[in-house]
Amino acid sequence: MKNTLLTFSKMHGLGNDYVVIDESKKEIIPEHRKPAIVRELCRRGFSIGADGVIFVEPPTLDETDIRFRIFNSDGSEAEMCGNGIRCFAKFVYENDIVSQDEIVVETLGGIKYMNLTIIGEEVVSSTVDMGEAKFQPDKIPMLSPKPDLEEFLDGELVVDGKTLKVSAVNVGNPHAVVFTDKLEDVDLNHLGPLMENHEAFPEKTNVHFVKVVNRGEIEMLTWERGAGFTYACGTGATACSIVGYKLGKLDENVLVHLPGGELFINVYPRNGNLGAFMEGDAVLAFDGVVEIDV
């Protein structure tokens, strides 16, 4: 291994923060070293500190403009991230990696279509077509307590000896959603890791507790797979809005209040399924250079 200087950008979407590394021209961190270096870069108090690391890479699919990869702070690679992809879009446009305001992005969670709102040379917000939600347990993936169930919606899941009403969905990555009238009573640091690592979710899951304010507004708390508590989760806001709509608790337009700020979700029907558009901003905190061992 050798020491090298790594140029990076620190960005966040509603406080959900990421180190962004540009590998669009060449690989900077060898593939086998990515998980370990991600863990080091994300250590708060000892390094840059972040919920994860985003890599900008050239596309491998002809129909896409650019490739988005995201690693959680524990070094695991995730399929998608709503807040992360908005940071990604701002980064690639403002650094002249892409030049158009409509971007087709390759992700592990499928192809995502993005529209950027640009004032001057700055991306002030972006809208992402999050695609169709999957509710079939094998597509989440989830090992349903009742294998014959086609969907696990408002189903009973035993967590730490107590039964919770849980809905499971995949919106590019897996989510478990729990509606509650008393969000302030949720012990997220206790229940979050238990649900993330529950045997029902073989690839782990993101966990959300949600309070319905009215049919167009929710509050939510997130325990993110591989990262723990985060101030916001874009795919989570999408998952909660779609589940709430499917259960008849919410209308199609939802304002989502998260500890880090607000997102707007528009749920839509497509091909007999449900999808959603997510709209929000992203912020460049600072650019920097750090020494790493590659």
- Residues marked active site are found at 81, 233
CA–CA distance, 114 with 16 (Å, rounded to integer): 19
CA–CA distance, 107 with 279 (Å, rounded to integer): 18
CA–CA distance, 294 with 3 (Å, rounded to integer): 6
115 beta partners: 102, 127
CA–CA distance, 179 with 181 (Å, rounded to integer): 7
